[in-house]
């Protein structure tokens, strides 16, 4: 058997010296080092040898296999180096060609609109206040005039955590309580941007997460007329000085009275189209005077202080401004959509 192993090694090395390309090299590897190759069969025959012959035959078999594998690796490196040298010698490379341009990052369309909204409110004298995404049931509902078992809680489909009483906020309104308690009965004029979460069916018009901008103004002589004037000024800066607005009575448990604000459809100019559902108007936000119960939870005396609050969705406003028909585009990470902005 030792003689057979020597002959196999000599034959294999001779054949390897004739290999000139990768295809032939791989064929040699299968024929010489493969499982069905003669060397593989000899390795299987070792167990049938007498015990006194196995050590010497085994050592020789390992030597032959190691030698052939090392020769294979050396040949592969040699062919690779030869191919590179040939490529450099024969192929032309124009070093004067410009490099491939790196794509530039862009601000996400949802954040573009969010930044525009916050910039306008900052120009109008409102400070930006950030509140937390994970809230307690008290801040999200009870302090917003929705005690346990209040039917208004059904207006928000809530993500609850495994910790009792802890949830993902369904609106940015809990931030009102945080900022009121921090300001300790001082006048307030802030906007509170952030992400909200609702356990809803994902459709073209609704998502389980979305940005919202909450606004709050608290003082000693704030009226509903102040609310209307402030929001009208905002819409004219946001959509143009000629935009028409209207207020409709509505209901929110944390404001009284409550209203929703519409702007004239800027697609059809108020004549009625598919975007505005033939009404000529587009809803952009909800608002109202801060409920006395909410003021009390915030540490303000409702007999002395009053205030207004509003909430708007930045994705919804972006959809209206750019005529986007599906809110899911914002989170799909489709570059064909994102690069338009």
Q: Please, what CATH class does the domain formed by 109-338 belong to?
A: alpha beta
3-state SS class at 159: strand
The pLDDT score that the predictor gives to residue 169 is 94
Indicate if the alpha-carbon torsion angle 130, 133, 134, 139 is positive or negative.
positive
The pLDDT score that the predictor gives to residue 303 is 94
User: Considering only CA atoms, which of 328, 315, 332, 106 is closest in space to residue 211?
Assistant: 315
The pLDDT score that the predictor gives to residue 18 is 83
The pLDDT score that the predictor gives to residue 305 is 95
**What residues of the chain score a pLDDT lower than 70?**
1, 5, 40-41, 43-48, 54, 267, 274-275
């Amino acid at each position: 058997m030792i003689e057979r192993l020597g002959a196999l090694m000599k034959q294999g090395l001779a054949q390897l010296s004739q290999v000139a390309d990768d295809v032939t090299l791989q064929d040699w590897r299968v024929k010489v080092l493969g499982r069905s190759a003669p060397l593989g069969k000899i390795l299987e025959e070792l167990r049938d040898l007498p015990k006194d012959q196995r050590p010497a035959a085994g050592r020789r078999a390992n030597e032959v296999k190691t030698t052939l594998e090392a020769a294979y690796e050396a040949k592969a490196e040699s062919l690779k180096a030869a191919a590179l040298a040939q490529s450099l010698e024969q192929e032309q490379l124009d070093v004067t060609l410009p490099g491939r341009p790196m794509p530039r990052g862009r601000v996400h369309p949802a954040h573009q609109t969010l930044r525009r909204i916050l910039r306008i409110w900052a120009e109008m004298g409102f400070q930006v206040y950030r509140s937390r995404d994970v809230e307690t049931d008290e801040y999200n509902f009870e302090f917003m005039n929705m005690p346990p078992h209040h039917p208004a809680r059904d207006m928000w489909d809530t993500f609850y955590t495994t910790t009792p009483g802890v949830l993902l906020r369904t609106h940015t309104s809990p931030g009102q309580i945080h900022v009121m308690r921090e300001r300790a009965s001082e006048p307030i004029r802030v906007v509170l941007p952030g992400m909200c979460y609702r356990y809803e069916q994902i459709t073209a018009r609704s998502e389980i997460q979305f940005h919202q901008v909450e606004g709050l103004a608290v003082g000693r002589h704030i009226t509903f007329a102040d609310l209307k004037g402030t929001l009208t000024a905002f819409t004219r800066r946001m959509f143009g000085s000629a935009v028409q607005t209207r207020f409709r009575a509505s209901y929110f448990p944390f404001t009284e009275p409550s209203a929703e604000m519409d702007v004239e459809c800027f697609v059809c100019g108020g004549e009625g189209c598919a975007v505005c559902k033939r009404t000529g108007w587009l809803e952009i936000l909800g608002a109202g005077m801060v409920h006395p119960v909410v003021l009390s939870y915030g540490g303000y005396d409702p007999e002395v202080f009053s205030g207004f609050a509003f909430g708007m969705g930045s994705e919804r406003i972006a959809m209206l401004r750019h005529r986007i028909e599906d809110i899911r585009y914002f989170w799909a990470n489709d570059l064909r959509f994102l690069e338009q902005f």
